Structure 1
Amino acid sequence: MTELRIRAVTAGYGRDAVLESVDLTVPEGTTTAVLGGSGSGKTTLLRLIAGFLRPSGGEVSVGGRTVAGPGVWVPPERRGVGYVRQEGGLFPHLSVAGNIAFGLPWPRRRHRARVLELLDLVGLPASMADRCPDQLSGGQQQRVALARALAPRPGLILLDEPFSALDSGLRAATREATARALRAAGATAVLVTHDQGEALSFADEVAILGAGRFRQVGRPAEVYREPVDAEVAGFLGDAVLLDGIASGGAVSCVLGSLPVQEGVPDGHVLVMVRPEQIALTPAGGGHLDATVRAVSYFGHDAIVELDGIGDGIGSAPSGTVVARVLGQDAPRSAERVGLSVAGPVRAFPVGPSVARPLSGTAAR
């Protein structure tokens, strides 16, 4: 198994720096998802690790061996790194077996056994070995691309948004098959993605990348529940952001007085509440009452926009709050409901000169 270490790496194109003194460690046998928007530096990071781009500063090591750094440069083909691209990149003139075995440094008589082993590993039947890529679905093609990357037994696998071109059902099945295959192979993996749910469900750790720097790195539950700031909170899932005042271990905001996570000094704060923390009841049955402004129904769950929080006449601060409920529990538009907040909330100190979202702003 292989550990990946990136230390103080700066890289870019020409005079434009894309990554600025970044640090990242991916422990052996684990998967880290690098989550960021367009232009954040995700693909540049993968190109750097793979050896397609030289850093202008810092060091990259794979399995304890420095592959890029001052006076050191190991070419891509000698790094022992597998790479799965977004579009798969299969050779159309080769069969599935030919694609998987392409470039294997072993005698050809050993190729067939390795191909069948890998097809089983990625959840494809042996009968597909002789098919052409155009006879496969998109998800099957991506599994073959993963099998090809795993074929020479690399210690590190790089996944460049490999599920983004698939439809939702196929994406989930392919993602699960990929995760099983990586675990079975004992490979270390880095996935870059802009999909929040994908990052949270697929990886052992999530690294939030923005403007060429890692904003936060940690286990999915930790990063989701304890984001370092409001920007990360809004990027990693839906977040209701409220203007509030912290005092004595609680915050006062449009949702009343709420317990707050430790470490927040008294004073003006931005309060973060996850939509699933907001429970809805019949009117009069919660801590506060509110009016349903709109409902977005997704079957398994629903997003409910609420306003008129208080008695409906304006005694409470105005603003919109978003709750997430089970689909079967979704209320109707214009209905009056009760609401309460479960668990402690997150709060971020703000100064008087800091621009803040309006009370009740939902970052999505």
Structure 2
Amino acid sequence: MTDVQLRAVTAGYGRRPVLKEVDLVVPEGTTTAVLGGSGSGKTTLLRVIAGFLRPGSGEAVIGGRTVAGAGVWVPPERRGIGYVRQEGGLFPHLSVAGNVAFGLPWPRRRHRDRVLELLDLVGLPAELADRRPDQLSGGQQQRVALARALAPRPGLVLLDEPFSSLDTGLRAATREATARALRATGATAVLVTHDQDEALSFADQVAILGTGAIRQVAAPRVIYGEPVDTEVARFLGDAVIVPGTAAEGRVTCELGTLPVRGFVPRGAVDVLLRPEQIALTSPGSGSLDATVRSVAYFGHDAVVELDLTDTTSSQGVRARVVGLQPPEPGDLVGLTVVGPVRAFPAADRSSLLVAEAPGRNRPAS
């Protein structure tokens, strides 16, 4: 297996640095999703690991071997890396089998068995082996591209937004097939993406990249539930942020006096919670009452905009509820906050991240 370490990597094009002193560790046999908006440096980071771009300073270490650093440079073809591009990059004049077997180091008589093994691994039937890429669906083409990347048994696979051109249903199925194939081979993987749902559901750890710097690296549940600041929280999904005051391990805000997860600053704070933490009840049975302003219905769930009736604040809040029987605009409801919230010093209002294309069930804040 192969791990990846980036140590104080600065890289860019010309005199303009895109990555600035980036540190990142990808443990062997795991998948890391690098999540960031346009211009954050995602592709640049992947190019440094692949060997397509020489960093200006710092080190890149793959499997314990320094491949880029002071006086050291290992070209891409000698790094033992599989690479899957956004568009797949299949050779149109070759069959599926020809694409998968392209570049295999062993004798041709062994290619067919390896091709069929890989097609099964990525969830494609053997009868597709003799078809051309233009006879496949987009999802099938991406699975062939993954099979080609896995063919020489690389220790590390890099995925450059490989699902972004697929429609929603096909993207999910292809992503799941890719995750299964990577687990089966034990390869280490780095995925770059701007899709929050994709990063959280696909990876063992998520690295948030903003303006060329790593903002946070953690397991999906940790990074979603315990973001380091409000901007990371907004970037990872819908966030409800209200002003409050912290004291003695709890915060008091217009939603009540609430327990806090993690460090609790004293004084004025921004209180962070997710819309799914706001549970709706019948009027008078919750911590406070609210009037439904609007409802965005998505089938599996709904996002409910609420105006609080028991406070003087004009700020509304959002709740996420199951889609079976959402309330109607104008309804009076009760609400209760479920679980601990996060609290940050009120001055934390930077805007270093720009979220792209949030999932339809995660409206942009």
Tell me the TM-score normalised to structure 1 length: 0.95
1:317 aligns with 2:335: no
Mapping 1:309-348, distance limit 5 Å: 309-311=308-310, 315-348=311-344
Q: What SS does the corresponding residue of 1:164 show, helix, strand or coil?
A: coil
1:123 aligns with 2:123: yes
Q: What SS does the corresponding residue of 2:178 show, helix, strand or coil?
A: helix
Task: Give 1:259 deviation, angstroms.
Answer: 1.2
Distance between the aligned counterparts of 2:115 and 2:251, measured in 1? 59
Distance between the aligned counterparts of 2:265 and 2:33, measured in 1? 32
Structure 2 match to 1:174: 174
1:183 aligns with 2:179: no
CA deviations over 1:187-211 (Å, ceiling 9, x no partner): 0000000110100000000000001
Structure 1 match to 2:62: 62
Mapping 1:41-80, distance limit 5 Å: 41-80=41-80
**Amino acid of the residue matched to residue 262 of structure 2?**
E
Task: Give 1:8 deviation, angstroms.
Answer: 0.6
Note the residue ranges of structure 1 that are not aligned, 5 or more in a row.
357-361
Structure 1 match to 2:203: 203
CA deviations over 1:115-159 (Å, ceiling 9, x no partner): 011001000011100000000000000000000000111100000
Structure 1 match to 2:32: 32
Structure 2 match to 1:81: 81
Distance between the aligned counterparts of 2:70 and 2:349, measured in 1? 40
Task: Give 1:222 deviation, angstroms.
Answer: 0.4
Structure 2 match to 1:241: 241
Task: Give 1:316 deviation, angstroms.
Answer: 3.1
8 Å CA contact 2:41, 2:211 repeated in 1: yes
1:269 aligns with 2:269: yes
8 Å CA contact 2:231, 2:349 repeated in 1: no
**Amino acid of the residue matched to residue 184 of structure 2?**
A
Structure 1 match to 2:356: none
**Amino acid of the residue matched to residue 295 of structure 2?**
V
Q: RMSD of the alignment, in Å? A: 1.3
Structure 1 match to 2:152: 152
Q: What SS does the corresponding residue of 1:317 show, helix, strand or coil?
A: coil
CA deviations over 1:84-137 (Å, ceiling 9, x no partner): 000001000000000001111111111111101100100001110000000000
**Amino acid of the residue matched to residue 337 of structure 1?**
V
8 Å CA contact 1:241, 1:363 repeated in 2: no
The runs of at least 4 consecutive aligned structure 1 residues that moved more than 2 Å come to: 353-356
**Amino acid of the residue matched to residue 309 of structure 2?**
G
Distance between the aligned counterparts of 2:334 and 2:282, measured in 1? 5
Would you say how many aligned residue pairs link Structure 1 and Structure 2?
354
Structure 2 match to 1:13: 13
CA deviations over 1:245-299 (Å, ceiling 9, x no partner): 1111111112121111232121010110100000001111111100111100001
Q: What SS does the corresponding residue of 1:113 show, helix, strand or coil?
A: helix
Structure 1 match to 2:345: 349
Distance between the aligned counterparts of 1:152 and 1:6, measured in 2? 24
**Amino acid of the residue matched to residue 239 of structure 1?**
A
Distance 1:260 1:171, change over 3 A: same
Distance between the aligned counterparts of 1:104 and 1:123, measured in 2? 21
Mapping 1:106-145, distance limit 5 Å: 106-145=106-145
Structure 1 match to 2:223: 223
**Amino acid of the residue matched to residue 328 of structure 2?**
R
Distance between the aligned counterparts of 1:310 and 1:246, measured in 2? 23
Task: Give 1:310 deviation, angstroms.
Answer: 2.9
Structure 1 match to 2:360: none
8 Å CA contact 2:230, 2:349 repeated in 1: no
Q: What SS does the corresponding residue of 1:329 show, helix, strand or coil?
A: coil
**Amino acid of the residue matched to residue 333 of structure 2?**
V
8 Å CA contact 1:255, 1:288 repeated in 2: yes
CA deviations over 1:65-89 (Å, ceiling 9, x no partner): 1111110101100100111000001
Tell me the TM-score normalised to structure 2 length: 0.95
Distance between the aligned counterparts of 2:322 and 2:32, measured in 1? 30
Note the residue ranges of structure 2 that are not aligned, 5 or more in a row.
352-362
Q: What SS does the corresponding residue of 2:330 show, helix, strand or coil?
A: coil
% of aligned pairs identical?
74
1:213 aligns with 2:213: yes
Q: What SS does the corresponding residue of 1:142 show, helix, strand or coil?
A: helix
Distance between the aligned counterparts of 2:266 and 2:63, measured in 1? 46
8 Å CA contact 1:31, 1:189 repeated in 2: yes
Structure 2 match to 1:359: none
Q: What SS does the corresponding residue of 2:97 show, helix, strand or coil?
A: helix
Task: Give 1:350 deviation, angstroms.
Answer: 2.6
8 Å CA contact 2:282, 2:333 repeated in 1: yes
Task: Give 1:354 deviation, angstroms.
Answer: 5.8
